[in-house]
Structure 1
Amino acid sequence: MARSAYPFASMANRYARDVVSGKVVACRYVRLACQRHMDEFERSKSKGYPYRWDKAAADRVCRFASNMVHVKGREWAGKKLVLENWQCFLLGVTFGWLRKSDGLRRFREIYAEIPRKAGKSVLGACLGLYMFAADGEPGAEVYSGATSEKQAWEVFGPARQMCLKNPSFISHFGIHVGAKNLHILDNASKFEPVIGKPGDGASPHCAIVDEYHEHQTPDLYDTMLTGMGARSQPMLAVITTAGVDTSGPCYAKRDEAVKVLEGTLENDQLFTVIYTIDDGDDWTDWVSWEKANPNLGVSIYPDFLRARRKEAIQIASRQNILKCKHLNVWSNAGSAWINMVKWNACRADVSLDDFAGEPCWVGVDLASKVDLTAMVLIFKRGDEFYLFGRHYLPEETVTLPENAHYQRWTAEGHLVATPGARTDYRYLMDDLLAYADRFSIRELAYDPREAEMLMQEIRERVSFSCIEINQSPAFISEPMKEFEALYLSGKLHHDGDPLLTWQASNVVLRSTRTKAYYPGKERAENKIDGIVAAIMALSRAMLHAGQASPVPGIFDWSSIQAEAGA
């Protein structure tokens, strides 16, 4: 057939070309997704490449979606869908790449991050209905999964309404529309919502995880994925906006997706596209809002989005949530202190082994024995500083169902899970003594809370000084300002430790009536202990180096004591 016989596949390819050429304004992640498609199209021409681009397969799923009808909106309800180029790209590329060996689909997972009001639910409904009725899978099981019944119906509800408003569709495929499910009697296929943690008996052909950022654990995702083993070409789709918890399973999946796009992780079965703004973009600029919203002027009106932009600019308390939902900027602190773009730019390709024998300063923040404990080492080279974290948590806390992020970081070696229900400080002691043999520790700074017995033992076994630093605003304000100035100027480096980066994103700036700063957090589960330990260590390093002069009420302990007694 002539190329024109596949208009939707052509639209998908055109979108990829226009994005890569700059004709369509898009963020880096969308450009990488489009470039990936174009590069693989070229590689598919070689005999050794295992996949081929099938225009007919890409066109078929898009043609199916274009025969569905809108179910909401005064000017849309009852009308057939008109797919935009970016939607053809998402659907067409996902279904259009096949394995050369057996003709089955290549992609088995989708991670699509799309801002609000861009038609996520409609896309999810079309995807679910296609896999349910038109994919040729006998006994297909399709699930719309979420943390609540209301959210699960955000995809299943439109899918059900699409059936009710499209009699020829349900007649052709023999679909029965129930109150809470769809099913086809002839081949035992079904489509239904799932809430919370599902059972292990399901055998999904397709699972749509809506708004994955709201999930505290990966239970639903993992159960659906592991249940797909008996299906020859299943699909697990995450279609979500950004969220406010970078410790959750959604952000972990996003991190994997970004690494696939960047080529640092190989996963030929994961298709991903993320609509957001780029690091360094001025979020107040209208162009940024155009970049992050692919359906602007179609399903979301420009005047509505301009009003949200104005609201975010004028009302500081609304900035994070509006940037999160309309620009897909992740944030988990209501008024975050650390600029995560700048923080991530401070990542350096270094390890502790690079600093053997060099002077260092240590900060220790001992939490209660059932909470996160942090030890941070800081090294100084010239006018630049390098920090490394070590974290500890009781094993029984790590293994709680809601702590999947701690389980992941333990498996990756970023967190030490000490046996039992209470943190065993002997692990920290052993690490500290080992560090004392490897590096020239000048001082150890610690918060006296929770620490007295441990510090007494440490003092008996080390030769360096151990300095109390109270975390009250009077003590910690100036070190915080120094910490801020260093990372903003790119002179405070870290090794990309995800646990420390998560804590950096959790820190909220608090201040007293006298404008003294101190670190806070929005929620108890948003830990900041590692950053507090880093600030304490940095205060001693800079003071020792003569870069921070003693400030009355900060480092001059005698004056603090005198003021307290006054």
Structure 2
Amino acid sequence: MKAGPKAAKTTDPLDLSGLPPKRDYRRIVAFIERFCIATKGTGAGEPFKVHPFQRDILRSLFPASGKAPRQGLTLIPRGNGKSSLAAAVAVWALFDGGESAQVLCVAVDLRQAAIVFGMACRMIELHPDLAARTKLYSDRAVYVATASQLFPVPAKEDALQGFDPSLAVVDEAAFLTPEAIESVMGASGKRASSLVWMVSTPPMADDNYLFDLLQDSKENPRSDFAVTVYTSDKSHSKDCSHCWKAANPALGKFLHRDGLAADMRSAREQSFRRLRLGQFVSGSEDAWVEPEQYDARVTDRKIARGSPVVIGFDGSYSGDHTVIVAVTVQKLPHVELLAIWKPAEHGGKVPVGQVEDALRQACADYQVTELVADPYRWQRSLQVLEGENLPVVEFPQSRARMEPATLALREAIIDGNVSFSADPDLRAHTLNAVVTDAEDTGTRLRKVSKHSEKRIDAIVAAVMAHSRATYHANKVKPTGRSMSWRYV
């Protein structure tokens, strides 16, 4: 899209004669194949060919008979042309959507929304009849003849205010929060005919909002909600040729088998299964440790009373769990969950006095080198305990502290240099944790999603305690011999 003043555009409407008269999938397919040019991949620069599986998707959204759905969900693995098809449909909706049609390309943020919007604008530029009738701007495209408009929009309630879309294409809907999806839904439905079409690869966990929508559609089918899912059998191996074909309808057309094979060899299995085989995997491709790695370090051992330990404390206010973990101070440390409080079991609040007493008891039962804790929300309690001469050490969860500590415990698990007491909560919290790498926070643990009920507090406490326990275990003890220093 060129910057600056726009050249005059013709107000003559696009000639749509010869297209099927009824505004269903057959008319859309005919429009796309007549006016849209493929912008990327195999066939780029050539007329857009609508393949049979894409025709099936469009048939579910724009049926030839019966009432058209108001909402649609298409889950399909990466590389099967979902964004290109979405862009082509957006172009059709702009030119054949009637007077003052409003087409939205929606995504988690403006950058992502601009992907489908940019592809649609490029399709318009590549066809002279479309380009001659459209004013293209960085933030919208306008079909002059009907004053119809196409916009890229982030999925935020304030950004969606004032829109009345005839079509909203929601790209990579799995990354949207429930509130964001509901905001998009709430912006539509004001016209006699409108559609919110969510297209995405499967989400990263089975507690995602899209997973709930999919399950509900299976249990309570709705005529106003069209669902198309391309997936495969999770019980089969990742190189199963049947699964490759079932999940990837574009395979052998514009998705190349050697490219898929190369991705299988380089990607983590969980990632490959989700992104390439369309499977809802338990956990995330960013899992901190795999179940078999953790289970190999579990023993029946319990830490003996009086043992030298570092206590790790991770306290919550009302949402997460509050935990106390002990890690032995020795060359091969052992981790044990001493106590856990779940707000649901305590009326939604953490019993602060009970937690403080449990910390006092732990310091009485063991030879505690340090009691490490993030002071957030627990500053008062930690000050009280420190005033009682308990060895409280603040461990703020900053990048400088948490990144090396997180990496060190994971390395110890993989190399067999740590063990864990058998405990279902400790195991669950460890396997719930995923790892994120960001410029501002570095490598650190997080929940699979902000609203996930899968807690990670016990392993966060273990990371802090393990870091300090290994420090003390490996600290060089003074020999008592005098030494002289010479600087060179």
Instruction: Please state which band the TM-score falls in when normalised by the shorter chain.
Output: 0.5 to 0.7
Q: CA deviation at 1:512?
A: 6.5
Residue 236 of structure 1 aligns with an amino acid whose one-letter code is V
Partner amino acid, structure 2, of 1:150 = R
Q: How does 1:5-404 map to 2 (within 5 A)?
A: 57-73=24-40, 76-99=43-66, 105-136=67-98, 138-171=99-132, 174-197=133-156, 198-215=159-176, 217-247=177-207, 251-260=208-217, 262=218, 264-312=219-267, 318-330=268-280, 331-332=283-284, 334-335=286-287, 337=290, 367-373=315-321, 392=343
SS in 2 for 1:192: strand
Letter in 2 for 1:513: G
Q: Which amino acid aligns with 2:167?
A: C
Higher helix share goes to which structure? 1
- Does the CA-based 8 Å contact 2:160-2:184 persist in structure 1? no
Report the alpha carbon displacement of residue 109 of structure 1 after superposing the two structures with TM. Answer: 1.0
AA of the residue aligned to 1:288: C
The secondary structure found in structure 1 opposite 2:37 is coil
Partner residue of 1:516? 419
Structure 1 partner of 2:470: none
What's the CA shift string for 1:167-206, capped at 9, x where partnerless? 22355xx432333311123332100111351242111111
> In the aligned structure 1, how far is the partner of 2:248 from the partner of 2:103?
28
Deviation, structure 1 residue 302: 0.9
Which consecutive residues of structure 2, in runs of 5 or more, have no partner in the other structure?
1-18, 293-312, 324-340, 361-365, 367-409, 421-425, 435-444, 459-488
In 1, Cα distance between equivalents of 2:347 and 2:188: 32
Change beyond 3 A, Cα 1:75–1:94: closer
Greater mean alpha carbon deviation, residues 220-229 or residues 204-213: 220-229
Q: Secondary structure, in 3 states, of the residue corresponding to 1:229? A: coil
The alpha carbon displacement at 1:155 in A equals 0.6
**C-alpha separation in 1, matches of 2:110 and 2:190:** 27
> Residue 333 of structure 1: CA displacement?
5.2
Distance 1:254 1:210 in 2: 16
Q: Is the 8 A contact 1:372 1:529 kept in 2?
A: no
SS in 2 for 1:268: coil
For residues 62 and 391 of structure 1, do their structure 2 counterparts lie closer, same or farther at Cα, with a shift above 3 Å needed? farther
Checking the alignment, whether the CA contact within 8 Å between 1:244 and 1:333 is kept in structure 2 is yes
Shift of 1:114: 1.3
Work out the CA distance in 2 between the residues paired with 1:310 and 1:150: 30
2:212 counterpart letter in structure 1: D
Bigger Rg over Cα: 2
- Name the CA shift for 1:367/1:107 in 2 (closer, same or farther; >3 Å): same
TM-score (norm 2): 0.59
Cα 1:532/1:151, change in 2 over 3 Å: closer
After superposition, give the CA deviation of every residue in 1:90-141 in whole Å (9 maximum; x if it has no partner): 0022101544xxxxx42111111111111111111122122222133x2111
Take 2:213 and 2:128, find their aligned partners in 1: how far apart are those partners?
A: 41
CA displacement, residues 221-257 of structure 1 (integer Å, 9 cap, x when unaligned): 322211223211111111111232544xxx3223222
Shift of 1:289: 1.8
Taking the aligned partners of 1:164 and 1:272, their CA distance within structure 2 comes to 32
**Partner Cα separation in structure 2 for residue 280 and residue 272 of structure 1:** 23
8 Å contact 2:42–2:254 — kept in the other structure? no
* 8 Å contact from structure 1 (residues 374, 529) kept in 2: no
Distance 2:89 2:238 in 1: 32
Identity across matched positions, percent: 20
Q: Structure 1: how far apart are the matches of 2:286 and 2:447?
A: 14
Contact 2:39 2:122 in 1 (8 A): no
> Partners of 2:257 and 2:44 in 1: how far apart?
20
Instruction: For 1:241, give the aligned amino acid.
Output: T
| Structure-2 change in CA distance of 1:123 and 1:320 (3 Å) | same
Question: How far apart, in 2, do the equivalents of 1:141 and 1:297 lie?
Answer: 36
Alpha-carbon distance between aligned partners in 1 of 2:342 and 2:95, rounded to the nearest angstrom: 50
**How much does 1:285 deviate?**
2.0
Instruction: Report the more deviating stretch, 192-201 or 154-163.
Output: 192-201
> So what's the TM-score if we normalise by structure 1?
0.51
The structural deviation recorded for 1:327 is 1.5
Q: Match of 1:496?
A: none
- Count the aligned residue pairs: 331
Are the counterparts in 1 of residues 232 and 278 from structure 2 also a CA contact under 8 Å?
Answer: yes
- Shift of the alpha carbon at 1:455? 11
Query: 1:532/1:64 Cα in 2 relative to 1: closer, same or farther (>3 Å)?
Result: same
When residues 115 and 74 of structure 1 are mapped into structure 2, their CA distance, relative to the original with a 3 A threshold, is: closer
Question: Where do 5+ consecutive residues of structure 1 fail to align?
Answer: 1-7, 10-53, 100-104, 313-317, 340-364, 376-389, 394-414, 430-449, 457-467, 469-507, 534-566
Task: Rate the CA distance shift 1:453–1:106 in 2: closer, same or farther, 3 A.
Answer: farther
Q: Alpha-carbon deviation of 1:514?
A: 4.4
Distance 2:454 2:45 in 1: 54
Compute the RMSD of aligned alpha carbons: 3.9
Letter in 1 for 2:276: H
The residue type paired with residue 46 of structure 2 is K
Deviations 1:303-325 (A, max 9, x none): 1111122334xxxxx22222222
CA contact (8 A) 1:143 1:193 kept: yes
Q: Give, in whole Å, the separation in 1 of the partners of 2:148 and 2:137.
A: 13
Query: For the Cα contact (< 8 Å) 1:69–1:78, is it kept in 2?
Result: no
- State the Cα distance separating 1:144 from its structure 2 match: 0.7
Pairing 1:450-465 to 2, within 5 Å after superposition = 451=355, 453=357
Work out the CA distance in 1 between the residues paired with 2:200 and 2:260: 19
- Matches of 2:68 and 2:147 in 1, distance apart? 25
- Residues 1:529 and 1:332: Cα distance change in structure 2 (over 3 Å): closer
How far, CA to CA, are the matches of 2:119 and 2:454 in structure 1? Answer: 45
Residues of 2 paired with 1:57 and 1:148: CA distance? 30
